[in-house]
């Protein structure tokens, strides 16, 4: 039997600054009531100006490594799903790889909008099952506050910043990722777009999200239900066999509509949308972390992850929760030492870079 990718660690990072609907309503023609009723969102976290997707990803990755008790030197692949990297390269994944001391890992960023984390999970799991690697770090990290137009009430109220990470390790087939489906329909891509407005990128405005909300809503409700049906049927199961569904956190009404279509109980759909809004590729791993920390994932149970977004794209995966891999204590201690050393080096390099950029700045 080929090895199965098991989730052995998870971590999240949310910026400390909370922005409520009422605060948004002070600068925008909107209200707490409208946002709550139409979306389910009460507040979101916003990163500091200097805090990018990479920094948030590093924090989430460190927590996941601690939980997994893995030596970062064992990680073969770092994949970061993001649409809001500070730069095209070096990738966020390469920055994370260095910051955590994963000195034997390949690293790349993956672009599949809000579906990105499920795509990355599926690819990393296949690499483990094929025997190419023994462990992977899979992250979703987004600074959505940097790509929304803060004057557009149709979009800016929906999004937030954050990062979530998991460690996948090769284990026996009793637990881990059992099946996944990935999909795309480029014909409807214009419904949700992130690009530079002509002429405005050069003026320093940068890329902004444009969206046909109703079109995306219809697509998302339909695809959440159909991809859950598809992925469960791959295993000869029904959606009702799932103990918990962890969906992309975009709109409470999307989750409720999918539940209604499937006849699935809404109390078995995990939602933290109220507190964080839509953090794009980070939303599924952040929700996974919270569900695990709250004890909502029990060993042996089936949990589905499902996401949809720009592309238009979608993905769903089924995991049998639990881990059969426990590292011996000396490997855990060695891993902790390597992480600490990598963190010291990373901070040192950042200070050096900061000092040299200050020296170069004309007075």
- Just list the catalytic residues: 114, 248, 278
CB of 24 to ligand COA, least distance (A): 8
Tokens at residue 106, please?
């390949």
Q: How far is the CB of 189 from ligand COA (least distance, A)?
A: 13
Any alpha helices (H) in the chain, and if so which ranges? 21-25, 32-39, 53-68, 92-100, 116-129, 213-234, 252-262, 273-276, 283-293, 329-360
- Looking at the Cβ atoms of 106 and 213, the one nearer to ligand COA is 213
- Six-digit token pair at 232? 């469960």
From the list 71, 52, 231, the residue with the least C-alpha distance to 137 is 71
Residues 122, 317: contact at Cβ < 8 Å? Answer: yes
Residue 98 or 217 having the CB closest to ligand COA: 217
Q: Which of 90, 174, 165, 112 is nearest to 135 (CA)?
A: 165
Cis status, amide bond into 90, omega within 30 of 0: yes
**Secondary structure (DSSP) of 219-287:** HHHHHHHHHHHHHHHHTT--GGG-SEEEE--S-HHHHHHHHHHHT--GGGB---HHHH-B-GGGHHHHH
Nearer to ligand COA, 214 or 360 (CB): 214
Tell me how far, at minimum, the Cβ of 146 lies from ligand COA, in Å.
16
- 191 versus 288: smaller Cβ distance to ligand COA: 191
Record the tokens describing residue 292, joined without a space.
């695990």
Contacts of 220 (CB under 8 A, 6+ apart): 250, 251, 254, 308
- Residue number with CB closer to ligand COA (35 or 163): 35
In whole angstroms, what is the distance from residue 321 CA to residue 300 CA? 5
Residue 148 vs 157, nearer CB to ligand COA: 157
Q: Nearer Cβ to ligand COA, position 174 or 195? A: 195
Q: Taking the complex as a whole, how short is the minimal distance between the CB of residue 259 and ligand COA, in angstroms?
A: 16
Q: Which residues pair with 225 in a beta bridge?
A: none
Q: What is the CA radius of gyration of the chain?
A: 20
**In which residue are the tokens 């390949």 written?**
106
**Least spacing, CB of residue 98 vs ligand COA, in Å:** 30
CB-closest chain residue to ligand COA: 213
Q: Strand pairing partners for 307?
A: 315
Report the interface residues with ligand COA, using CB under 6 A: 30, 34-35, 38-39, 114, 153-154, 157, 211, 213-214, 216-217, 220, 250-251, 278, 309
Residue with tokens 């052995």: 8
CB of residue 287 vs ligand COA: minimum separation in angstroms?
A: 14
Residue 234 CB, nearest approach to ligand COA (Å) = 24
For residues 359 and 353, give the distance between their C-alpha atoms in angstroms, rounded to a whole number: 10
Residue with tokens 């790509």: 147
């Amino acid at each position: 039997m080929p090895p199965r990718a098991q989730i052995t660690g998870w971590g999240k990072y949310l910026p400390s600054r909370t922005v409520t609907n009422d605060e948004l309503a002070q600068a925008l023609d909107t209200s707490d009531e409208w946002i709550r009723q139409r979306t389910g969102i009460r507040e979101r976290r916003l990163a500091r100006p200097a805090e990018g997707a990479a920094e948030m990803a590093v924090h989430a990755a460190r927590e996941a490594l601690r939980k997994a008790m893995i030596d970062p030197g064992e990680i073969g692949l770092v994949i970061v799903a993001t649409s809001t990297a500070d730069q095209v390269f070096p990738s966020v994944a390469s920055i994370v790889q260095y910051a955590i001391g994963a000195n034997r890992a390949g690293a790349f960023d993956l672009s599949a909008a809000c579906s990105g984390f499920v795509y990355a999970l599926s690819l990393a799991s296949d690499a483990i099952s094929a025997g190419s690697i023994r462990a992977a770090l899979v992250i979703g990290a987004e600074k959505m506050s940097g790509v929304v137009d803060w004057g557009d009430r149709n979009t800016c109220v929906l999004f937030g910043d954050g990062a979530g990470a998991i460690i996948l390790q090769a284990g026996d087939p009793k637990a881990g990722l059992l099946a996944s489906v990935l999909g795309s329909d480029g014909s409807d891509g214009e419904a949700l777009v992130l690009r530079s407005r002509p002429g405005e990128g050069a003026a320093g405005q940068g890329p902004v999200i444009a969206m046909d909300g109703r079109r995306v809503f219809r697509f998302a409700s339909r695809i959440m239900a159909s991809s859950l049906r598809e992925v469960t049927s791959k295993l000869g199961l029904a959606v009702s066999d799932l103990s918990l569904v962890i969906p992309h956190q975009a709109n409470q009404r999307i989750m409720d509509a999918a539940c209604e279509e499937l006849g699935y109980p809404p109390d078995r759909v995990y939602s933290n949308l109220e507190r964080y809004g839509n953090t794009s590729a980070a939303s599924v791993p952040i929700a996974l972390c919270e569900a695990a920390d709250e004890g909502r994932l029990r060993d042996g149970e089936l949990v589905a992850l499902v996401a949809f977004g720009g592309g238009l794209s979608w993905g769903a995966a089924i995991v049998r929760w639990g881990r059969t891999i426990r590292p011996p204590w000396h490997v855990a201690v060695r891993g902790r030492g390597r992480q600490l050393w990598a963190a010291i080096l990373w901070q040192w390099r950042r200070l050096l870079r900061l000092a040299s950029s200050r020296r170069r700045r004309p007075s």
